[in-house]
Structure 1
Amino acid sequence: MRKTELQRSYLLIKRLFQTQSAVQYAKQQPRNLKGRSKSSQDWLTRQLADPYVEKARMMNYRCRSAFKLMEMDDKYKILKPGDMVLDCGAAPGSWTQVAVERTNAAGKQERAPQGAVFSIDLLHFHAVPGATIFGGMDFTTSLAQQRLRESLAGRQVNCVMSDMAPNATGVRMLDQESITNLCYEVLRFALAMSAHGANLVVKIWDNGDVPKLERDIQTYYEKVKRVKPRASRGDSAEHFLLARGFKGFPPAPT
């Protein structure tokens, strides 16, 4: 059999497998819902209907959010081998996994420069090979930020990422204010620790403060763009502010 015929056969089998898997996956229904709240039942149903959940499991990512970062990086090239990366709100570690792969932090690409990834979250989470993990630490505290500075040991960061979000109170105005404040906390740390040309990604929920936050970020970066990856659920208010090309601080007025 010629090479082209082999390729066609492979593609045919692959498509057949994907079709069968999709049909089987779509038929799954949540079980053991008795006693669960309506919101919990809705979440389980949505998880089973979400192709990114299954894709994350098959590719050994800890959760579906990995594909949000992968899509942004594929399009905007915010990570590269040799980069120093800070991942804020990292648990359970899927963004950290992607960052380790794309910066070569684990040193698996022999001919590429080796990067480093530092990940922090309020929750404790399992280690990711190639990353330095700070679990059970609140990024917004001076103690946590000092620990990060000590670990960086004078090295500047090439990308600061934040998938952080506050625990929802159900009061929309309070929740929006809380996540905006988290973005500013990440921005302040990024301004102090970033190398020239560094990138920044922060998660935000739609609210009236976003335009001001976007303008403030624009002061320090060459380009700022609102991004909603395909992996973000359509009914979610989340999107990301992606800033590229850290310029440093503007000159003081004379």
Structure 2
Amino acid sequence: MWCFSLQRRSLHSSFRLMKKLKGKTGAEQRWLQRQLKDPYVKASHAQNFRCRSAFKLLEIDDKFGLLQPGYSVVDCGAAPGAWSQVAVQRVNSAGTDPELPHGTVVGIDLLNIQALHGAHFLSSHDVTDPATHARLQELLPAGRAHVILSDMAPNASGFREMDHEKLIAMCLTLIDLAEKTLQPGGSLLCKYWDGSLAHKLQKSLSTVFASVRTLKPNASRKDSAERYFLARTYRKPVK
């Protein structure tokens, strides 16, 4: 019965996407057709994730164990909330398992984020704003997080190098956020687009984290310049 329900939901989703093809430009039609064929899109519908990006974080966490029950997590660029869904499950912030410690998940985005049990969302908030940092410190236990996640990205301009530079600049602001909210020994996972300034970001992260590695999860499309830096063991800079 459960399998039939999933098949019916998948067929319904496919039908809706096919209807959307009508009247679209060539580029829009290609994007929608790719969505129809994407197994991660289908899996996200089946497992009630808000978008396919959930599987990138699931894959990374399965391999590196970033998210543990009882941990506090800050999710930057959280909309529509798929990464927060994963974090809520993994840190037990909804208290689903009463035998495990309860974690905390706080998501931030300039956009509105639909409510999610187990997460506190700061919609219409700028991650670089000191007022946002202050609010985070109020919401996090002892004012500190174990993990900062960032899947945020600028609106695409169509100019690859310009978009790359904008995203690198956004990622660099996370170092300031870490100083304000990340506990010693904590971790940071951030998305970037590969390009000429990636080494600058890696070098900056290496000044405050003991290890920095590049990741390309299987759920990240092969033709995409998308990469992730996983920075671990935060060392607060001495001033």
Query: Normalising by the residue count of structure 1, what TM-score does the alignment of the two structures yield?
Result: 0.85
CA apart distance, 1:145: 2.6
Deviations 1:68-114 (A, max 9, x none): 00000010111101101000000110100000110010111112111
CA apart distance, 1:153: 6.2
List, as ranges, runs of 4+ consecutive aligned residues in structure 1 with deviation greater than 4 Å: none
Q: 1:131 aligns with which of 107, 119, 123?
A: 119
CA apart distance, 1:122: 1.1
Q: 1:186 aligns with which of 174, 178, 195?
A: 174
Q: 1:121 aligns with which of 100, 109, 112?
A: 109
CA apart distance, 1:134: 0.9
Deviations 1:168-209 (A, max 9, x none): 111222211110011011121012211121010010001111
Q: Is the CA contact (8 Å cut-off) linking 2:72 and 2:141 kept in structure 1?
A: no
Deviations 1:112-169 (A, max 9, x none): 1111000011111211101111112222223323322232364211000000000011
Counterpart-to-counterpart distance in 1, 2:125 and 2:184: 28
2:203 counterpart SS class: helix
Q: 1:83 aligns with which of 68, 71, 74?
A: 71
Aligned to 1:244: 232
% identical equivalent positions: 42
Which has the larger displacement, 236-245 or 153-162? 153-162
How many residue pairs get matched?
231
Say whether 1:43 aligns with 2:43: no
Counterpart-to-counterpart distance in 2, 1:198 and 1:174: 31
Q: Which protein has the larger Cα radius of gyration, Structure 1 or Structure 2?
A: 1
What is the aligned-residue RMSD (CA, Å)? Answer: 2.2
One-letter code aligned to 1:47 = Q
Q: 1:231 aligns with which of 204, 207, 219?
A: 219
Query: Normalising by the residue count of structure 2, what TM-score does the alignment of the two structures yield?
Result: 0.90
Counterpart-to-counterpart distance in 2, 1:129 and 1:32: 31
Q: Is the CA contact (8 Å cut-off) linking 2:51 and 2:82 kept in structure 1?
A: yes
Q: Map of 1:57-206 to 2, 5 A cutoff?
A: 57-152=45-140, 154-206=142-194
Counterpart-to-counterpart distance in 2, 1:66 and 1:157: 20
